[in-house]
Each structure stands twice: as structure tokens, then as C-alpha cells.
């Protein structure tokens, strides 16, 4: 699977958003790691979180299904531990980890519960899990035709393998036997055309006319997106 420059730009732009950066830091706190604790970043992407966790003293391991993305992570953050692997079949022994995080991952999985069950397998007793994802169906976008915009957002949610994963995570964790479950959310307010363009293209799907209308709004300075980001933490 290739990784395009446009995709990397999209990841970088979103990760640089103040809300996204703040919630990453909050997620690290929720992991409650001590120095040297092994923690996996599942769906590690460019390796940003692995590098940040390492600076906090954790033994961070990045896992991604895409070998090309692992290559990007190794190039950007040399010396890090990056492994090709699936969220459904992690390259760890039972109870090996003290922490697990997954950011913008579950909505792309057909079976989020299976991924969380695999997380439980690799976590030791008392270990922490932190799952961050976008609540796609709650994204709000300013538009000249609100009903059509709502329909586009709902259609995008329904087209994802697990568009409601952010809302379902707390209940899934409880079903799997996790405890101390806590959920919080913040909304990223996006007005920048470069960030907005990336999200709008993914949300628009095949509706090129709606996308063109949004691009026109952006050109005149009227772009406005509200993107809810949900963070759920629990104890194994």
C-alpha cells in the first residue's frame, strides 16, 4: 500500500491542530505510564505519538498495517521501534504491555470489538488503554444548504466500516471487562482552507457539487467545520 504525499500532508495538518495536539497530550496522561513502561501506538502512522511518548520516558512501539507507513515513521523518527502488524493480530505476547493507544483507527475497522479484545489480550493487569477517534456523524459544517450538508455527513459516516466507533467504544470496553472507563470530547474548529480541504474531500465522497460549493465558501473565507474528537480511557 503506497502512501501519497497528499495523505501525509492530511495527517500532518490534522495532527497540528491545537485540539488534536492537546488531546494527544491528555491521552498520554491517561495512560499513567512510568519510566520504561512498554506502550503500543496502534495505527502509528508517521510515528509522531511514538516519538512523543519516548520523550516522556516510555518504551513506545509503533504498529501499523501498512509497511509504507512504517517506512515513513522510521525515516521521520530514526531509532524508534516500529512494527508491521494488524490491530486484530498485534505482535505482542499476552499481558506484555502497560499501555495501548489508538488514534483515528477504529472507524476504519470492520470489527472494532475484535480490535479492543486484542488490546485486552496484550495488556497486563492494571494496564491502561486510550482510544481517540472522530465522531463522524456529529461533524457540523456551515453551508448554504444545511439539509444537504447533513445528508452528506451522514452518508460519509454510513460509508465508513465503523462510523460510530467513537460512540461505541465505552460500551465495547465495558463488555470486554475493562474498568474505570472515562470518556471526554472536544471539538476542533476548522476554518483553515488547507486543513478543511483534506476533510471536505473525505466527507464529500462522490458529491462533487457539494464539495465545489464548500471550496467556494473557503475561497471567500467562510469555511467552518466543527469536528468532535472523542477520547475514551479504561483500565485492563
Tell me the whole-structure pTM to 2 decimals: 0.94
Indicate whether 185 pLDDT > 90: yes
Cβ contacts of 206 within 8 Å, gap of 6 or more = none
Indicate whether 194 pLDDT > 90: no
Mean confidence (pLDDT) of the chain: 96
Q: Which cell numbers hold the place of 220?
A: 471567500
Partners of 179 in beta bridges:
235
Q: Which cell numbers hold the place of 119?
A: 488490546
Q: Which cell numbers hold the place of 20?
A: 488534536
DSSP 89: B
Using a 10 angstrom Cβ sphere, with 0-12 exposed, 13-18 middle and 19 or more buried, the burial of residue 90 is buried
What is the domain partition of the chain in residue ranges? Answer: 5-136+162-187+230-235
Partners of 63 in beta bridges:
42, 83
Number of helices and strands in the chain (H, E): 9, 8
For the domain covering 5-136+162-187+230-235, report its CATH number: 3.40.50.150
Q: What does the pLDDT read at residue 34?
A: 95
pLDDT digits (tens, 9 = 90+) for 61-71: 999 999 999 99
191-228: string of b/e by CB count within 10 Å (b at 16+)?
Answer: eebebbbbbbeebbeebeebbebbbebbeeeebbbebb
Nearest 5°: phi and psi at 110?
-70, -25
Amino acid at each position: 500500500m503506497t502512501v501519497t504525499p497528499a495523505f501525509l500532508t492530511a495527517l500532518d495538518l490534522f495532527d497540528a491542530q491545537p485540539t488534536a495536539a492537546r488531546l494527544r497530550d491528555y491521552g498520554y496522561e491517561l495512560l499513567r505510564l512510568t519510566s520504561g513502561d512498554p506502550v503500543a501506538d496502534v495505527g502509528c502512522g508517521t510515528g509522531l505519538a511514538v516519538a512523543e511518548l519516548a520523550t516522556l520516558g516510555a518504551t513506545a512501539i509503533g504498529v501499523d498495517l501498512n509497511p509504507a507507513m512504517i517506512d515513513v515513521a522510521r525515516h521521520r523518527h530514526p531509532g524508534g521501534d516500529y512494527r508491521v502488524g494488524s490491530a486484530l493480530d498485534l505482535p505482542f505476547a499476552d499481558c506484555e504491555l502497560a499501555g495501548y493507544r489508538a488514534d483515528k483507527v477504529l472507524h476504519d475497522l470492520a470489527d472494532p470489538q475484535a480490535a479492543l479484545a486484542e488490546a485486552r489480550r496484550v495488556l497486563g493487569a492494571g494496564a491502561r488503554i486510550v482510544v481517540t477517534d472522530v465522531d463522524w456523524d456529529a461533524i457540523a459544517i456551515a453551508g448554504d444548504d444545511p439539509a444537504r450538508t447533513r445528508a452528506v455527513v451522514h452518508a460519509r459516516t454510513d460509508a465508513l466500516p465503523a462510523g460510530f466507533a467513537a460512540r461505541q467504544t465505552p460500551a465495547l470496553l465495558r463488555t470486554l471487562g475493562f474498568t474505570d472507563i472515562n470518556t471526554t470530547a472536544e471539538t476542533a474548529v476548522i476554518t483553515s482552507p488547507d486543513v478543511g480541504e483534506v476533510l471536505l474531500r473525505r466527507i464529500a465522497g462522490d458529491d462533487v457539487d457539494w464539495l465545489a460549493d464548500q471550496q467556494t465558501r473557503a475561497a471567500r473565507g467562510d469555511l467552518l467545520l466543527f469536528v468532535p474528537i472523542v477520547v475514551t480511557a479504561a483500565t485492563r
